Copies of this chain bind each other. A is one copy, B any other.
Amino acid sequence: MIPRPAAVRVHDGVFTLDDATTLSAEPPLADVAGWLRGVLGPPTGYWLPPGPGNGSGEIALRVDPALAREGYLLDVEPTGVRVIGATPAGVFYGVQTLRQLLPPAVYRAAGTISPPWIIPAMTVADAPRFGWRGCMLDVARHFMPKADVLRFVDLLAMHKLNVLHLHLTDDQGWRLAVPRWPRLVEVGAWRRESMLGARRHATFDGRPHGGFYTREDIAEIVAYAADRYVTVVPEIDMPGHMRAAIAAYPELGNTSATLEVWTGWGISPHVLGVSDLALTFCRDVLDVVCELFPSEYVCIGGDECPPDEWLANAEAKARDAREGLAGPEELQPWFTRQIATHLVARGRRLVGWDEILTGGAPSGATVAAWRGRSATIAPARAGHDVVACPDSSVYLDHRQSTHPDEPVPVGNLLTLEDVYAFDPVPAELDDAEAARVIGVQANVWTEHMDSARVVDYMAFPRLCAVAELAWSGPGHDVGDFSGRLRVHKGRLRAYGVEYHRDSGPLPWQTRPDARGWPR
């Protein structure tokens, strides 16, 4: 099973799931029961409606608030199966574990196998280590069609991950329709062409790329994810990584340059100006975000905006003086405070990349710590909640083997074993500080992933290791994990995940046309 449950005890005997097995669920679990019927069964088949067991045993879902939050107890006995959770989410995770006890073909969309299925009698008790078990998906660098996003949500749910951090905007594309600012998608949602491979090679593909989500698409993604106990945390990256918006509305920028949506990768010198208009714009966009995303957390990015870039802007200098700031290095903290105030007034909590710490992050801000493993330490010590997502351990765009044909190798080598060895809580932290590490998150930056197929290849199986980090405590046995992963890959194949194989890329997973620049 992946992630590995905290405790598994196998008993004598087996439960036989057959055509006469019934499913009963307490009312708050109607959704989980429906989901179970939909996933496991042929359209109707053997999953009979809720009711007392009348044939070959019953699967019963119920809530018991005495269990740990998000935890579950799965009890398989010869006479029946019980899945008990403190919350419906807990029951959902118990059901996911039950699913892993069935043949891998239950991960297919249509019945290629039929019951009866034999499940050994056992007791599984489990609860997650972290409340934030996430994956960031960058749909800005490459747009991912809605159907593929929903499929990715399924993959998260299958691995008991519960946060999809959606990176919706960047220099290379703006993916969210915002009514008062229509040019964001008319202009900002596409670029003329894309860079092929690493920046230094300066090669381009000549092919336009684009796409965006309507408000209805977002509502659907959010509802679909919620049905699977996944929260979609939206990110609008500001004040840097804003070039797509500035291409749409040049007056938002820090210079008077007329720009196109960026076709290259990297850090653009073109960032938001520090104007009243830019602040109004950010607040407008965040209002739409708050309306569409029920998530308590809203990410405002905040990464990679060097203070000097703002110096080019006359308005910024005036702002320095007007707000009594000591210099440009105080501008971003000032900006972040304005935004935090706006979000807090709407009942939301601000999340930012660890750059927001520079000059002091607003109190109550949650930090996504990405610049190395040590980036988690400072915010935890400064009293901020932290989500550990260091580039050195969970950046899934980095190459995953030394195979010479790994596609577009960038960044450091990051093997499955490297990911698995990562402890999100640095040993330097004391208990109170450690408690501020609320989670772990993999980041899937998609400069070099232009389809769901490539995302599959880069994300799996490393995301399986991240899921296990998020659920289990430290001190893992990688040999044990490898054995379970071998079985788990059968589930991934059944679902249709084109994961990275131990032997390296398949011929069609290579990218001789897009050279990388490995560190």
Contacts and interface: CB of A to CB of B under 8 A. Distances in A.
A513 B207 contact: yes
Contacts of A49: 49-50
A202 to B, nearest CB: 16
A54 B41 CA distance: 27
A164 to B, nearest CB: 13
Contact of A147 (B34, B151, B207, B220): B151
B38 A42 contact: no
Contacts of A209: 508
A112 interface: yes
Interface residues of A, number: 62
Contacts of A224: 109-110
Contacts of A50: 49
A268 to B, nearest CB: 20
A146 B206 CA distance: 28
A216 interface: yes
A494 B147 CA distance: 11
Given A110-B223, A207-B511, A216-B108, A498 B145 contact: yes
Given A43-B31, A219-B112, A513-B206, A506 B453 contact: no
A404 interface: no
A512 B207 contact: yes
Contacts of A510: 208
A223 B30 contact: no
Given A150-B109, A223-B111, A223-B112, A508 B190 contact: yes
A227 B506 contact: no
Nearest to A451: B451
Interface in A82-140: 105, 108-112
Interface in A216-236: 216-217, 219-221, 223-224, 226-227
B511 A190 contact: no
A87 to B, nearest CB: 16
Given A44-B34, A49-B49, A112 B512 contact: no
A508 B210 contact: yes
Nearest to A214: B493
A205 interface: yes
A216 B511 contact: no
Given A42-B227, A207-B513, 16 more contacts: A30-B44, A31-B42, A108-B220, A109-B150, A109-B224, A112-B223, A147-B147, A147-B496, A190-B508, A205-B513, A207-B511, A208-B508, A208-B509, A208-B511, A210-B506, A211-B508
12 contacts: A30-B44, A32-B43, A34-B41, A34-B42, A34-B45, A35-B43, A42-B227, A111-B223, A147-B452, A190-B506, A207-B512, A211-B498
User: Which 5 pairs from chain A and chain B are nearest by CB?
Assistant: A34-B43, A210-B508, A34-B44, A110-B224, A206-B513
